[in-house]
């Protein structure tokens, strides 16, 4: 099997860090970019297939205290913070993944999640709680009810979690890992320089094992430093197909440093590059 190369790379703008990335179920991925000095946020939507920019939007009412909250079908949901010292979600924006158009916005409720064309929100009062069910595309309030529906909301939240399983993430590698027997030999071979305090995180996709781990780099300015590494290995041959250093000088452990959607692998390098790898032709 041939070595793997990135399919495309998106480089963030000068002074902006890639803060969060969020794919749709279909063909787009949204990047949340932040300029930490000017305290402004920009959202850039890319094609999953080639990394081309589809749209960019940074003219929200709140330039900094806003973040990606969720996605449902072809709609992204962004939420403001109510105030800087209280990271509860405030105003909600529904944004078309195709155009970047704000379909609607609302501050009557705190956003909870979106599922199957509906948005679920809540308003907490001193002695009561009200739930809202909203049309995801129009913002029309379809239903409101009290705590008697709390159990139903929890069941829907569990359905939401299941609906996001199109995003595959790695799992800490130990004897309870579902692919422990398959990948143990590879992990032992390719992570022999890893810091034993931080177990590697592994995702197995057919004949491919994706391994992410940390290497201790010593102490700098009184703080321990670490390197974060991704390796992609062919299971049946033990061949190293790809490797990259995601972060070269960390002061802390980073979990979930990559994810897969279908046959794509996505990861951020040094908070300035989003890298996409396609595995289909490799499996």
Q: Global pTM?
A: 0.94
Do 271 and 17 touch, CB atoms closer than 8 A? yes
Q: What is the pLDDT of residues 168-210, one digit of tens each?
A: 999 999 999 999 999 999 999 999 999 999 999 999 999 999 9
E strand spans, 48-170: 53-57, 66-72, 75-83, 86-96, 102-106, 110-115, 118-124, 129-135, 141-145, 167-169
Q: Which residues pair with 68 in a beta bridge?
A: 78
- Under the banding of pLDDT at 50, 70 and 90, the label for residue 86 is low
Q: What is the pLDDT of residues 103-114, one digit of tens each?
A: 999 999 999 999
Do 57 and 100 touch, CB atoms closer than 8 A? yes
- Under the banding of pLDDT at 50, 70 and 90, the label for residue 283 is very low
Do 171 and 187 touch, CB atoms closer than 8 A? no
Given strand 66-72, what is the order of strands in its sheet? Answer: 66-72, 75-83, 86-96, 102-106
DSSP 3-state of 180: helix
CB atoms under 10 Å from CB of 270, counted, come to 14
Weakest mean pLDDT among 91-95, 269-273, 278-282 = 278-282
């Amino acid at each position: 099997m041939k070595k793997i190369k990135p399919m495309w790379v998106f480089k963030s703008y000068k002074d902006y860090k890639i803060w969060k990335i969020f794919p749709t179920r279909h063909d787009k991925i949204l990047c949340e970019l932040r300029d930490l000095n000017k305290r402004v946020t920009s959202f850039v939507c890319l094609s999953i297939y080639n990394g081309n920019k589809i749209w960019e939007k940074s003219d929200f009412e709140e330039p900094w205290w806003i973040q990606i909250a969720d996605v449902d079908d072809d709609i992204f949901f962004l939420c403001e913070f109510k105030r800087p010292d209280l990271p509860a979600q405030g105003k909600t924006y529904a944004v078309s993944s195709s155009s970047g158009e704000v379909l609607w916005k609302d501050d009557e409720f705190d956003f909870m999640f979106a599922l199957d064309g509906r948005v679920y929100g809540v308003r907490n009062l001193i002695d009561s709680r009200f739930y809202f069910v909203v049309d995801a595309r129009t913002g029309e309030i379809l239903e409101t009810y009290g705590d008697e529906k709390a159990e139903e909301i929890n069941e829907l939240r569990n359905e939401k979690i299941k609906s996001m399983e199109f995003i595959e993430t790695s799992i800490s590698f130990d004897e309870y890992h579902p692919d422990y027997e398959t990948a143990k030999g590879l992990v032992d071979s390719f992570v022999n320089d890893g810091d034993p305090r931080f177990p590697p995180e592994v995702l197995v996709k057919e004949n491919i094992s994706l391994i992410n781990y940390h290497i201790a780099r010593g102490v700098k300015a009184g703080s321990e430093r670490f390197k974060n590494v991704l390796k992609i290995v062919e299971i049946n041959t033990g061949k190293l197909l790809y490797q990259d250093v995601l972060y070269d000088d960390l002061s802390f452990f980073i979990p979930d440093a990559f994810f897969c959607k279908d046959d794509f692998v996505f990861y951020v390098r040094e908070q300035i590059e989003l890298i996409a790898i396609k595995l289909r032709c490799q499996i």
